[in-house]
Amino acid sequence: MSHISILMENQPGALSRVVGLFSQRGYNIDSLSVAPTNDSSLSRLTMVVKEEESIISQILKQLNKVIDVVEVQNLSDIESVSLEIAIVKLKITEKEAKKIIESAFPVVGEIINHKDAFVMIKLIGSNHEVDDFLLSLNKQKFLEVTRSGLLGMGTGENFLISESETTIEY
Amino acid sequence: MKKESGGSALIRALADENVDLLFGYPGGAALHIYDAIYQQDKVQHILVRHEQAAVHAADGYARATGKVGTVLVTSGPGATNAITGIATAYMDSIPLVVISGQVASHLIGTDAFQETDMMGISRPIVKHSFLIQSPEEIPEVVKKAFIIAKTGKPGPVVIDVPKDMTDPNHLFDYQYPKDIKMRSYSAPSEEEESNVDEAVSLLEKAKKPVLYAGGGIIQGNASEELKKLAKIMNAPVTNTLMGLGAFPATHENFIGMLGMHGTYEANMAMHEADLIFALGSRFDDRTTNNPKKYSLNAKKIHLDCDYGSIEKIINVDVSLNGDAKKILNQILNKIDPKNIDKASIDLWNNEILNWRETHGLNHDLLDKKFHQKQILPQQVIQSLYKSTNGKAFITSDVGQHQMFAAQYYKFDEPRKWINSGGLGTMGFGLPSAMGVKFAFPDEDVVCVTGEGSIQMCIQELSTCMQYGLPVKIINLNNRALGMVKQWQDMQYGGRYSSILYEDSLPDFVKLAESYGHVGMKVEDISELEERMDECISMKDKLVFMDVYVDPDEHVYPMLEAGGNMSEMRVSKTKKTF
């Protein structure tokens, strides 16, 4: 498994070029998250790819070739932190929900909505922790889940930022 | 400063890029652009008969000149018809800028008349694409498109232009940018010294080296450097199908094309080598056979401008990523002739010569017209080689005739062999020959084709009539889809599924004549050479030479599927494994 972070132009079609590359070359994306950054001309995309090392190396090369891709970083190759956010909807009482949250450690949970007979809980943790927690839920009462995909960032001086623009003349 | 509309700015930007020829076909969404073309005389528009041919013609022009080929088509079917041409150029890394009309911005996504999502449909087969979002950005986008198309690993770039972006009533100040800013793109350059040192050390140690050169040497204009390296090492050189001409075929170090239908000696050399230096070639499956059994005893060096091509299929000992000419010069500056194992390489060259004597190609088939009833397709190529003194531009379609041309026409210069190597597009030959002839009106331009392929773009005989393009068409007519037939002979027990159409072939002579061209039919080996001379000597006429060849001939050698590089069939009855 590799956790890859990409900085790309915030342009129409840029995301489809990156995602298209995966289907075109037969690679599978396990999770994907994308949003603009503090620089509105750039989007940051974080993905988890479950492929063997030689294929990951090929994926990184092919990603670098996409013209809209500015920088690529393999978070699995450096020291990095990662987390995932999930929202689950359960058919339980608020009291039951509180109990579940207490038992969720190391996943951090919080009730974010309670309407009719349904409770929504926000969960934050590593993706394995979130996986384990979701597995532990009572299937009959477990109605819906949405997950952010694994977010991540290199620690310390492992930056993923855009270098200044290159000027090309010919 | 003269104000321009989006349409006139587009054409003016092409003129500022020194585009002289624009191959295309008009239609509704492109009409403002066509009106702009009418009102200027710097960019000449060439009207083809099908958009696929427009792209192939621009592609042939680009391959022969080294410049960027330029295409203009309309939206919808115009754009989709161009797709095969774009994919052809993409697979062979040919620099093209393809401008497609698009329905007006407010109609995009409504399934409007002649709307198709060109950005989406072309995405996997372009190096990059642009959707014009304001008329004012057109000059900058054109500049970017040309830079992206021609630098690094070249490739096709699409510019999709909604009709309202070319509105003749919306005028703005035009300025063509001198440079552009792209934070995510830079062209490859030299390689780090340490990697070059490693490569040089392997080259100097090699006892059985092979220089395996592909289209990247042609695209990178590095043929002279390759010749120097071969000379210093006295090393054998093989070219890929795309690389023919990168190293002169008549050079004593040349051992022929390698791969699926490569020469026996080239494939044997690849198998037995102790060092393979891949130069601008990409270990395509047609040149490696089974990668798991591929040249197991050889160290490998891979030079490629595309980092993504390195270790995609075959793992290598040294990778050299960057500009072929620059990196070869780095190597030439470092390699010391005194350190090269000349004695071992001499033995190696002798070994290769022995292989050539066992199962090499016979380049003298014309001298052996031993009571032959049928003309052999190989003899036609040899006759063509003689009549053109080996100097012609040869374009080809796809199939047996393509392999015979690749094997028997000895290309001594780069950019003379123009074929669809990667995608294998039937119908490529005639339109690409038109593009070459436009660029080199005084040179012989010959399309070697078959009666199957030629019918895929035969409508271009009309374009040739309109512009007076005296290309030569050599049709190796075996009355069947020959390469498929060969596979059906070899692997499907001779069950000829859907390859025969003998009763419904046109009279190609009359067909050519109906367009004002010259038609010839040749069935007898005794008249082949004379008619070929006659055909080539008609400098002002398109000649369609329909040559009836032996329908049972197969292309050999042929690598055995799943085997290593030494496992070949060398004739219908002999195999090496």
Q: What secondary structure letter does DSSP report for B216?
A: H
Active site residue B51: yes
Mean pLDDT of A136-147: 85
Question: What pLDDT score was predicted for residue A168?
Answer: 60
- Min Cα separation B132/chain A (Å): 11
CB contact under 8 A, B184 and A67: yes
pLDDT at A17: 95
A25 touches chain B (CB under 8 A): no
Q: CB–CB of A142/A121 below 8 Å?
A: no
CA dist A130 and A142 (Å) reads 14
Spatial distance between the Cα atoms of B333 and B417, rounded to a whole number of angstroms: 30
pLDDT of residue B183: 83
Query: How far apart, in whole angstroms, are the C-alpha atoms of residue B123 and residue B252?
Result: 44
The string of pLDDT tens digits covering residues A26-41 is: 898 999 999 998 888 8
Indicate yes or no: CB of B184 within 8 angstroms of CB of A13: no
pLDDT of B56: 98
Question: Over chain A, what is the mean pLDDT?
Answer: 90
Six token digits for residue B362: 């016979």
Out of B67, B127, B163, B416, which one is annotated catalytic? B163
Q: Provide the H-helix boundaries in B360-440.
A: 377-387, 400-408, 429-439
User: Which residue on chain A is closest to B183 by alpha carbon?
Assistant: A165
Which helix (DSSP H) or strand (DSSP E) does residue B31 occupy?
Answer: helix B31-38
- Return the number of other C-beta atoms located less than 10 Å from residue A23's C-beta: 11
Q: What does B35-76 look like in DSSP terms, one character per residue?
A: HHHHT-SSSEEEE-SSHHHHHHHHHHHHHHHSS-EEEEE-ST
The Cβ-side half-sphere exposure at B9, using a 13 Å CA radius, reads 31
pLDDT, residue A137, reads: 86
ipTM of predicted assembly, 2 dp: 0.90
Whether B569 contacts B556, CB under 8 Å: yes
Taking the CA of residue A19 and the nearest CA in chain B, the distance in Å comes to 11
| Chain B residues with CB-CB distance to A67 below 8 A | 127-128, 148, 182, 184-185
Active-site position among B114, B372, B374, B459: B114
Which residue from B minimizes the CA distance to A65? B308
Report whether B556 contacts B571 (CB < 8 A). yes
pLDDT at A165: 59
Q: Across the interface, which of B129, B182, B306 has its CB nearest the CB of A166?
A: B182
Q: How many CB atoms lie within 10 A of CB A93?
A: 12
Q: What pLDDT is recorded for position A159?
A: 87
**Minimal Cα–Cα distance from B441 to chain A, Å?**
28
* pLDDT score at B371: 66
Contact B109/A at CB under 8 A: no
- Per-residue pLDDT for chain B (577 aa), expressed as one digit of tens each? 689 999 999 999 999 999 999 999 999 999 999 999 999 999 999 999 999 999 999 999 999 999 999 999 999 999 999 999 999 999 999 999 999 999 999 999 999 999 999 999 999 999 999 999 999 999 999 999 999 999 999 999 999 999 999 999 999 999 999 988 888 787 777 788 889 999 999 999 999 999 999 999 999 999 999 999 999 999 999 999 999 999 999 999 999 999 999 999 999 999 999 999 999 999 999 999 999 999 999 999 999 999 889 999 999 999 999 999 999 999 999 999 999 999 999 999 999 999 999 999 999 998 876 667 799 999 999 999 999 999 999 999 999 999 999 999 999 999 999 999 999 999 999 999 999 999 999 999 999 999 999 999 999 999 999 999 999 999 999 999 999 999 999 999 999 999 999 999 999 999 999 999 999 999 999 999 999 999 999 999 999 999 999 999 999 999 999 999 999 999 999 999 9
Q: Is B131 an 8 Å CB contact of chain A?
A: yes
Sorting pLDDT into bands at 50, 70 and 90, what band is A167? low
CA distance A120 to chain B (A): 36
pLDDT of residue A157 exceeding 60: yes
| pLDDT (0 to 100) of residue B185 | 83
Selecting from B127, B133, B179 the residue whose C-beta is nearest the C-beta of A167 gives B179
Q: What is the per-residue pLDDT for B474?
A: 98
Judged by CB atoms closer than 8 Å, whether chains meet at B183 and A70 is answered as yes
User: Are the CB atoms for B395 and B429 separated by under 8 Å?
Assistant: yes
Which chain A residues have a beta carbon less than 8 Å from that of B323? none
Cα angle B413-B417-B419, degrees, rounded to a multiple of 5: 155
Cα–Cα distance, B460 to B303 (Å, whole number):
38
CB-based contact B95:B65 (threshold 8 Å) = no
Q: What is the 3-state secondary structure (H, E, C) of B398-414?
A: CCHHHHHHHHHCCCCCC
Q: What is the pLDDT of residues A82-104, one digit of tens each?
A: 999 999 999 999 999 999 999 98
Q: Nearest by CB to A168, which of B179, B307, B311?
A: B179
Q: Which of B128, B147, B183 sits opposite A162 (nearest CB)?
A: B183
Q: To 10 degrees, the CA torsion angle through B462, B466, B470, B473?
A: -10
pLDDT tops 90 at residue A143: no
Size of interface A-B (CB pairs under 8 A): 67
B483 is catalytic: yes
Token pair 């309309």: residue: B74
Distance from chain centroid for Cα B77? 25
Nearest to B70, CA basis, from B40, B104, B94, B49: B94
Of A13, A64, A67, which has the smallest distance from its Cβ to B307's Cβ? A64
Is B163 annotated as catalytic? Answer: yes
State the Cα–Cα distance between residues B407 and B476, nearest whole angstrom: 15
Using DSSP bridges, classify how beta strands B299-304 and B318-321 pair: parallel, antiparallel or unpaired: parallel
- Report the alpha-carbon distance of residue B126 to residue B85 in Å, rounded: 11
Structure tokens at B40: 């200027």
**Which pLDDT band holds residue A170 (cuts at 50, 70, 90)?**
low
* Residues of A with Cβ-Cβ distance to B16 under 8 angstroms: none
